[in-house]
Chains A and B, each alone.
Chain A
């Protein structure tokens, strides 16, 4: 392909990897690369803070399944990416983060805007490169994209000293040669047989599903297996959408703010089939008393996850999709069982819900209403109460339509991630379900969204406080609300307008439907400020360090009113009407 500069080679690599869009913000050492971007077909979205570039690339990756790409300059630009990279690492999101670096001859001299970003990000990247010679660019980029998207996906960082982007090289895209990296995707036949036999023997099975099923596109295979053996299915926050939540076998989410019936089922189960999940502490509660009667089958593409947090009886290393397909082939049809009746009884007796008072706007009702009005929406969340309500009260049914920072729990993630998701799926209706605290952490990206016509809709569940922390202060710290009051500043309607977007507000229940409809119909960036009570809680709840059996209802509950389709072969459920 002949001689070209390092910067041109980088763009050639991105083109060969099918990259259509990058999120970034320039700086001194990136001038040569940005000069090359000026002539390139790749779309560059200029963010207002580098953290948003990483989150937007992450949201793009989660919504599309492709590798997200972000770019920041050396020093502070690079360190601003760190939270975004760590977020992607914890949730196994394929990301390539490019950072500028001071010229190779200045590395280690504490030069202006120098930071050892490969060192800083080492614990939160799947792999990283400091490119010291322009000739390495094609190999490094080829490897980086391959490592980011294969096996257990994750972020890869490429640090690019300025001179490397200027120097010339003969471009040739090499074959992958990574002797130390061979993700094990193919499942072991014998382990499948053992797992299938255990599933057939089990009287009280539960399938527990995490983000691995989402990333392997294994949701159809999951439904196939669950229906064949009539196993109830519960998902983690990351697994939401992998199993339709209105399905008679669905238990919804488990764990700290999961459904009571999911947690009861786990505690009573005699077999747990864990697929692409990692037994996180928010899921297991007190590990020693987690699923005390159950044998555990653990399917994961990352062998290091198996046996890390809980003892596993039957390990299955490999891709979730193929494992689920193989398992479905290896098991025989099972009938509806007394276990299914028992679980259905729990669902009936302990439904997810909240107390309706008819006077204040209930955030849960906002989510239910949004689900009625726009069931196909892509729901991106911030972190905290807004995130849990979005998980609980929107009836999810598509793996790529729920996007949330699960592992790291990054406030400020949702809005830039929603921008990335919308750019990846321009035809989808994308909502950021936010709190007033989280939204303010990346509120400056309103400029990015407005200027680039990325018509995401932000639903601010505005309680004027840092609600989740306040909830804990309310329950466990004698209502001493230390450092959790935000005082309802700023006026989000005015902020939206100041940036050139649309601002809407609802202060009473009767206004909710109207503003949501207006937001859905809006073709510009829209912020909907919904005033809720600071005392509203996320319920039910397993207190920290307690067993899942000790799940508490924090208030009297009226049953939630999610959407409910009928499924052939299962009895139709009653559908509740919405209030207001």
Chain B
């Protein structure tokens, strides 16, 4: 079972290590983890995708809450939040494949951000499902390299996850 947790943490050295260390020590599985600035320079926001049942999720949440540098822990209900991930995919692009690749790019509303004689880099943004789907389709041409951000997520409407 996949869960998404949003964390507001103090923007101090060592905080990421504490969180990563907690996951490894307690045997929790991280699918992805992203960190970035918030509007307040004192705080950062993390989005962690966790795999586990309800008991594991409860322990993860409680253990994260015990860390002094963690200000807020919220589980984001996928039905009530929007999530996005950005991926850059360097795909082999022979002459005869180019038009098909460009069609796929257009269907997914992705972008071609670099072109060379034998490859192109495609930028795609969307839900993880969408990124997965695109990756599956591009695999036939040969994926040479891929960089994904991991997902970020936010609750719909006026509800706020903040310090």
Question: Which A residues fall within an 8 A CB radius of B?
Answer: 118-119, 122-123, 126-127, 130, 147, 178-181, 302-304, 307-308
A178 in contact with B65 (CB, 8 Å): no
The residues of A that contact B71 with a CB separation of less than 8 Å are 179-180
A127-B68, A303-B65 in contact; A122/B59 too (CB < 8 A)? no
Excluding A122-B17, A178-B68, 20 further A-B contacts by CB distance (< 8 Å) are A118-B14, A119-B17, A122-B18, A122-B21, A123-B21, A123-B25, A126-B68, A130-B14, A179-B10, A179-B163, A180-B9, A180-B67, A180-B68, A180-B70, A302-B66, A304-B63, A304-B66, A307-B55, A307-B58, A308-B59
Within 8 A of A (CB), among B54-75: 55, 58-59, 62-63, 65-71
The 8 closest A-B pairs by CB, nearest first: A304-B62, A180-B71, A127-B68, A181-B68, A123-B25, A303-B62, A180-B70, A122-B21
> What's the least CB distance linking A338 to chain B, in Å?
36
Quote the shortest CB–CB distance from B8 to chain A (angstroms).
9
B78 to chain A, nearest CB (A): 24
Residues on the B chain within 8 Å of A304, using CB: 59, 62-63, 65-66
In Å, the complex CA distance between A235 and B13 comes to: 41
- B contact residues, range: 20 to 34
B66 to chain A, nearest CB (A): 6
Q: In the bound complex, how far is the Cα of B71 from the Cα of A178, in angstroms?
A: 9
Query: What is the bound-complex CA distance between A180 and B25, given in angstroms?
Result: 21
Hey, which chain B residues are within 8 Å of A122, CB to CB?
A: 17-18, 21
Q: Which B residue's beta carbon lies closest to that of A156?
A: B68
* Cα distance, A304 to B68, chains bound together (Å): 14
Give complex CA distance A130, B12 in Å.
11
> What separation, in Å, do the CA atoms of A304 and B67 have in the docked complex?
11
On chain A, the residues within 8 Å of B67 by CB distance are 180
A-B contacts, 5 listed (Cβ < 8 Å): A119-B17, A130-B13, A179-B163, A181-B68, A303-B65
Nearest-neighbour CB distance to chain B for A148, whole angstroms, equals 11
Decide if A180 touches B21 in the complex (CB within 8 Å). no
**B6-34 near A? 1/0 per residue, CB < 8 Å:** 00011001100110010001000000000
Give the shortest distance, in Å, between A315 (CB) and chain B (any CB). Answer: 11
- Contact partners of B21 in chain A: CB under 8 A: 122-123
Give the complex CA separation of A118 and B17 in angstroms: 11
Whether B10 and A180, one on each chain, are in contact in the complex, defined by CB atoms closer than 8 angstroms, is: yes
C-alpha gap A236/B70 in the complex (Å) = 32
Chain B 129-145 residues near chain A, CB threshold 8 A: none
A307 to B14, CA, bound (A): 29
Most chain A Cβ neighbours within 10 Å, of B14, B58, B66: B66
Q: Which residues of chain A come closer than 8 Å to B163, judged between CB atoms?
A: 179
**A308 CA to B62 CA, complexed, in Å:** 10
- In the assembled complex, which residues on chain B have CB atoms less than 8 Å from the CB atom of A123? 21, 25
- How far, in angstroms, from A201 to B65 measured CA to CA in the complex? 34
Query: A178: which B residues are within 8 A, CB to CB?
Result: 68
Chain A neighbourhood of B58, CB < 8 A: 307
A461 shortest CB reach to chain B, Å? 35
Contact at A147–B68, with CB atoms within 8 Å? yes
**Distance (Å) between the CB of B50 and the closest chain A CB?**
15
Distance in angstroms from B87 CB to nearest chain A CB is 32
Residues of A within 8 A of B66 (CB): 302, 304
Q: Which residue of B lies closest to A308 (CB)?
A: B59
Determine the chain A residues whose CB is within 8 A of the CB of B68 once the complex forms. Answer: 126-127, 147, 178, 180-181
Chain A residues lying within 8 Å of B17, measured Cβ to Cβ, are 119, 122
Q: What separation, in Å, do the CA atoms of A249 and B55 have in the docked complex?
A: 35
A118 and B18 alpha carbons, distance in the complex (Å): 10
Which residues of the partner chain B approach A180 to less than 8 Å between Cβ atoms? 9-10, 67-71
Q: How far is the CA of A180 from the CA of B73 in the complex (A)?
A: 10
Min Cβ gap B12→A in Å is: 10
Q: In the complex, how many angstroms separate the beta carbon of B79 from the nearest chain A beta carbon?
A: 25
User: Complex: how many Å from CA A479 to CA B67?
Assistant: 46
Chain A residues contacting B59 (CB-CB under 8 Å) are: 304, 307-308
> Taking each of A302, A304, A308, which has the highest tally of chain B beta carbons within 10 Å of its own beta carbon?
A304
State the Cβ distance, B6 to closest chain A Cβ, in Å: 15
Task: Find the B residue at minimum CB distance from A305.
Answer: B62
Q: What is the chain B residue whose CB lies nearest that of A124? A: B25
Instruction: Determine which residue in B13, B55, B68, B163 has the highest number of CB atoms from chain A within 10 A of its CB, and name it.
Output: B68
In the complex, what's the smallest C-beta–C-beta distance from A12 to chain B, in angstroms? 23
In the assembly, what is the distance between CA of A126 and CA of B63, in Å? 11
- Closest chain A residue to B18, Cβ basis: A122
> With a CB–CB cut-off of 8 A, which chain A residues contact B62?
303-304
